[in-house]
Amino acid sequence: MLGPMSQPLELTRSASATEPRERHAFAFVAERLWLDFVNSDRVARGDDALSDFDRFVRWLEAAHLLDEERAASMLRRSQQQPAGALAVLGDARRVRNVLRALAERGASSSTIRSDALAELNRVLGRSAGTRRVELQADGGFVRTFVPVGDAFAGILISVVESAADALILGELVRVRRCADPRCGRVFQDETKNGRRRWCDMATCGNRAKAARHRMKLHR
Protein backbone atom coordinates (compact mmCIF):
# COMPACT_ATOMS: atom_id res chain seq x y z
CA MET A 1 0.00 0.00 0.00
CA LEU A 2 1.17 3.50 -0.75
CA GLY A 3 1.64 5.58 2.36
CA PRO A 4 0.85 9.28 2.42
CA MET A 5 4.51 10.01 1.82
CA SER A 6 4.55 8.28 -1.52
CA GLN A 7 1.42 9.86 -2.98
CA PRO A 8 2.36 11.39 -6.30
CA LEU A 9 2.36 15.12 -6.91
CA GLU A 10 1.03 16.07 -10.29
CA LEU A 11 3.48 18.01 -12.41
CA THR A 12 0.92 18.94 -15.02
CA ARG A 13 -2.67 19.69 -14.39
CA SER A 14 -5.34 17.33 -15.56
CA ALA A 15 -7.79 18.77 -18.03
CA SER A 16 -10.72 16.88 -16.58
CA ALA A 17 -13.73 19.15 -16.23
CA THR A 18 -15.43 16.96 -13.67
CA GLU A 19 -12.96 17.57 -10.87
CA PRO A 20 -14.88 17.84 -7.64
CA ARG A 21 -12.36 20.19 -6.07
CA GLU A 22 -13.39 23.78 -5.65
CA ARG A 23 -11.43 26.28 -7.68
CA HIS A 24 -13.69 29.29 -7.39
CA ALA A 25 -12.05 30.74 -4.29
CA PHE A 26 -8.80 31.26 -6.18
CA ALA A 27 -8.16 32.58 -9.66
CA PHE A 28 -6.54 30.34 -12.25
CA VAL A 29 -6.48 32.69 -15.21
CA ALA A 30 -2.78 32.91 -16.04
CA GLU A 31 -2.48 29.93 -18.46
CA ARG A 32 0.61 28.74 -16.60
CA LEU A 33 0.85 27.19 -13.18
CA TRP A 34 3.84 29.29 -12.07
CA LEU A 35 1.99 32.49 -12.96
CA ASP A 36 -1.14 31.35 -11.14
CA PHE A 37 1.14 30.80 -8.15
CA VAL A 38 2.53 34.33 -8.50
CA ASN A 39 -1.06 35.64 -8.59
CA SER A 40 -1.87 33.83 -5.37
CA ASP A 41 -0.34 36.82 -3.53
CA ARG A 42 -3.40 38.90 -4.36
CA VAL A 43 -6.33 36.62 -4.81
CA ALA A 44 -9.83 38.03 -4.86
CA ARG A 45 -10.85 40.09 -1.85
CA GLY A 46 -7.25 40.61 -0.83
CA ASP A 47 -6.58 37.26 0.79
CA ASP A 48 -3.12 35.88 0.30
CA ALA A 49 -3.11 32.15 -0.47
CA LEU A 50 0.08 31.89 1.59
CA SER A 51 -1.35 33.62 4.66
CA ASP A 52 -1.35 30.30 6.51
CA PHE A 53 -0.51 26.69 5.81
CA ASP A 54 -4.12 25.46 5.60
CA ARG A 55 -4.87 28.03 2.96
CA PHE A 56 -1.75 27.08 1.02
CA VAL A 57 -2.88 23.44 1.02
CA ARG A 58 -6.30 24.55 -0.24
CA TRP A 59 -4.61 26.47 -3.04
CA LEU A 60 -2.51 23.42 -3.98
CA GLU A 61 -5.68 21.35 -4.00
CA ALA A 62 -7.51 23.92 -6.11
CA ALA A 63 -4.57 23.88 -8.52
CA HIS A 64 -4.98 20.09 -8.75
CA LEU A 65 -1.52 19.55 -7.31
CA LEU A 66 -2.77 17.59 -4.34
CA ASP A 67 -5.66 15.18 -4.20
CA GLU A 68 -8.03 15.23 -1.26
CA GLU A 69 -6.26 12.43 0.54
CA ARG A 70 -2.81 13.95 0.25
CA ALA A 71 -4.14 17.37 1.23
CA ALA A 72 -5.64 15.86 4.38
CA SER A 73 -2.36 14.16 5.21
CA MET A 74 -0.47 17.45 4.68
CA LEU A 75 -2.83 19.19 7.10
CA ARG A 76 -2.42 16.43 9.70
CA ARG A 77 1.34 16.61 9.30
CA SER A 78 1.29 20.39 9.70
CA GLN A 79 -0.47 20.01 13.05
CA GLN A 80 2.14 17.52 14.21
CA GLN A 81 5.00 19.65 12.90
CA PRO A 82 3.91 23.30 13.06
CA ALA A 83 7.50 24.53 12.76
CA GLY A 84 8.03 22.45 9.63
CA ALA A 85 4.80 23.78 8.12
CA LEU A 86 5.84 27.36 8.88
CA ALA A 87 9.19 26.75 7.21
CA VAL A 88 7.44 25.42 4.10
CA LEU A 89 5.22 28.49 4.04
CA GLY A 90 8.18 30.85 4.39
CA ASP A 91 9.99 29.04 1.63
CA ALA A 92 6.93 29.21 -0.64
CA ARG A 93 6.73 32.99 -0.08
CA ARG A 94 10.39 33.36 -0.93
CA VAL A 95 9.96 31.36 -4.15
CA ARG A 96 6.86 33.35 -5.04
CA ASN A 97 8.67 36.69 -4.64
CA VAL A 98 11.42 35.51 -6.96
CA LEU A 99 8.86 34.26 -9.48
CA ARG A 100 6.95 37.55 -9.41
CA ALA A 101 10.15 39.39 -10.26
CA LEU A 102 10.78 36.87 -13.04
CA ALA A 103 7.25 37.33 -14.39
CA GLU A 104 7.37 41.13 -14.32
CA ARG A 105 10.95 41.88 -15.30
CA GLY A 106 12.52 38.58 -16.34
CA ALA A 107 12.18 39.27 -20.06
CA SER A 108 14.24 42.46 -19.82
CA SER A 109 16.72 41.75 -17.02
CA SER A 110 19.40 39.07 -17.13
CA THR A 111 20.09 39.65 -13.41
CA ILE A 112 16.50 38.76 -12.56
CA ARG A 113 16.74 35.68 -14.78
CA SER A 114 19.91 34.44 -13.14
CA ASP A 115 18.53 35.10 -9.63
CA ALA A 116 15.48 33.05 -10.57
CA LEU A 117 17.65 30.31 -12.02
CA ALA A 118 19.52 29.98 -8.73
CA GLU A 119 16.23 29.81 -6.84
CA LEU A 120 14.73 27.20 -9.18
CA ASN A 121 17.82 25.04 -8.86
CA ARG A 122 17.83 25.44 -5.09
CA VAL A 123 14.31 23.98 -4.92
CA LEU A 124 14.90 21.34 -7.59
CA GLY A 125 18.19 20.27 -6.06
CA ARG A 126 16.82 19.37 -2.66
CA SER A 127 13.82 17.37 -3.77
CA ALA A 128 14.42 13.66 -3.79
CA GLY A 129 11.95 11.49 -5.54
CA THR A 130 11.05 9.87 -8.79
CA ARG A 131 9.26 11.10 -11.87
CA ARG A 132 6.51 9.06 -13.42
CA VAL A 133 3.89 9.24 -16.13
CA GLU A 134 0.53 7.96 -15.00
CA LEU A 135 -2.68 6.99 -16.68
CA GLN A 136 -5.71 8.78 -15.30
CA ALA A 137 -9.30 7.63 -14.90
CA ASP A 138 -10.38 9.80 -17.86
CA GLY A 139 -7.83 8.14 -20.16
CA GLY A 140 -5.46 11.13 -20.12
CA PHE A 141 -1.88 11.05 -18.95
CA VAL A 142 -0.24 13.15 -16.31
CA ARG A 143 3.38 13.64 -15.31
CA THR A 144 3.88 13.07 -11.60
CA PHE A 145 6.60 13.41 -9.03
CA VAL A 146 6.70 10.97 -6.14
CA PRO A 147 8.68 12.53 -3.30
CA VAL A 148 10.57 10.37 -0.87
CA GLY A 149 11.23 11.22 2.75
CA ASP A 150 9.58 14.23 4.31
CA ALA A 151 5.85 14.66 3.60
CA PHE A 152 6.45 18.30 2.74
CA ALA A 153 9.25 17.49 0.31
CA GLY A 154 8.54 18.42 -3.24
CA ILE A 155 5.51 20.53 -2.41
CA LEU A 156 6.74 23.30 -4.73
CA ILE A 157 8.18 21.06 -7.43
CA SER A 158 5.33 21.43 -9.92
CA VAL A 159 5.33 25.21 -9.62
CA VAL A 160 9.08 25.41 -10.03
CA GLU A 161 9.06 23.00 -13.00
CA SER A 162 6.47 25.21 -14.64
CA ALA A 163 8.70 28.28 -14.23
CA ALA A 164 11.69 26.27 -15.50
CA ASP A 165 9.66 25.42 -18.61
CA ALA A 166 9.03 29.12 -19.19
CA LEU A 167 12.80 29.73 -19.25
CA ILE A 168 13.52 26.69 -21.39
CA LEU A 169 10.80 27.51 -23.91
CA GLY A 170 11.63 31.21 -24.02
CA GLU A 171 8.16 32.19 -22.88
CA LEU A 172 9.03 35.21 -20.72
CA VAL A 173 8.43 37.64 -23.58
CA ARG A 174 4.79 36.58 -23.56
CA VAL A 175 4.23 37.19 -19.86
CA ARG A 176 2.11 40.29 -19.25
CA ARG A 177 0.79 42.21 -16.32
CA CYS A 178 -2.92 42.99 -16.27
CA ALA A 179 -3.61 46.40 -17.84
CA ASP A 180 -5.52 47.47 -14.74
CA PRO A 181 -2.75 48.89 -12.53
CA ARG A 182 -4.74 48.08 -9.38
CA CYS A 183 -4.88 44.40 -10.29
CA GLY A 184 -1.29 43.20 -10.43
CA ARG A 185 -2.09 39.77 -11.82
CA VAL A 186 0.27 38.36 -14.42
CA PHE A 187 -0.55 35.95 -17.22
CA GLN A 188 0.82 34.23 -20.28
CA ASP A 189 -0.49 35.91 -23.41
CA GLU A 190 -1.41 33.08 -25.75
CA THR A 191 -3.39 35.13 -28.24
CA LYS A 192 -2.15 35.03 -31.84
CA ASN A 193 -1.57 38.77 -32.04
CA GLY A 194 -0.06 38.97 -28.54
CA ARG A 195 -2.45 41.67 -27.41
CA ARG A 196 -4.26 40.18 -24.45
CA ARG A 197 -4.60 43.01 -21.94
CA TRP A 198 -6.66 41.70 -19.05
CA CYS A 199 -6.07 38.94 -16.57
CA ASP A 200 -9.70 38.04 -16.82
CA MET A 201 -12.49 39.39 -19.00
CA ALA A 202 -15.05 38.63 -16.30
CA THR A 203 -13.44 41.00 -13.80
CA CYS A 204 -10.82 43.51 -14.97
CA GLY A 205 -11.80 43.39 -18.66
CA ASN A 206 -15.40 43.98 -17.80
CA ARG A 207 -14.61 46.86 -15.43
CA ALA A 208 -12.61 48.56 -18.17
CA LYS A 209 -15.43 48.09 -20.64
CA ALA A 210 -17.93 49.60 -18.19
CA ALA A 211 -15.58 52.54 -17.53
CA ARG A 212 -15.23 53.23 -21.27
CA HIS A 213 -18.99 53.11 -21.55
CA ARG A 214 -19.43 55.65 -18.73
CA MET A 215 -16.88 57.98 -20.38
CA LYS A 216 -18.88 57.87 -23.59
CA LEU A 217 -22.11 58.74 -21.79
CA HIS A 218 -20.53 61.73 -20.06
CA ARG A 219 -18.97 63.27 -23.13
Q: How many residues bind Zn ion (CB under 5 A)?
A: 6
The pairing of strands 175-177 and 186-188 is antiparallel
72 in contact with Zn ion (CB under 5 A): no
Q: Indicate the Cα dihedral angle 139, 140, 145, 146, nearest 10°.
A: -10
199 in contact with Zn ion (CB under 5 A): yes
Among positions 142-181, residues that touch Zn ion (CB under 5 A) are 178, 180
Nearest distance, CB of residue 184 and Zn ion, angstroms:
7
- Pick between residue 10 and residue 180 the one whose CB is nearest to Zn ion: 180
Q: Which residue in 96, 185, 186, 188 binds Zn ion (CB under 5 A)?
A: 185
101 in contact with Zn ion (CB under 5 A): no
Backbone angles phi, psi at 119, to 5 degrees: -70, -45
Nearest distance, CB of residue 35 and Zn ion, angstroms:
12
Q: Which residue in 183, 197, 207, 208 binds Zn ion (CB under 5 A)?
A: 183
Nearest distance, CB of residue 185 and Zn ion, angstroms:
5
- Pick between residue 38 and residue 155 the one whose CB is nearest to Zn ion: 38
Window of 49-57, 71-79, 103-111, 199-207 that interacts with Zn ion by CB under 5 A: 199-207
Give the residues lining the site for Zn ion (CB under 5 A).
178, 180, 183, 185, 199, 204
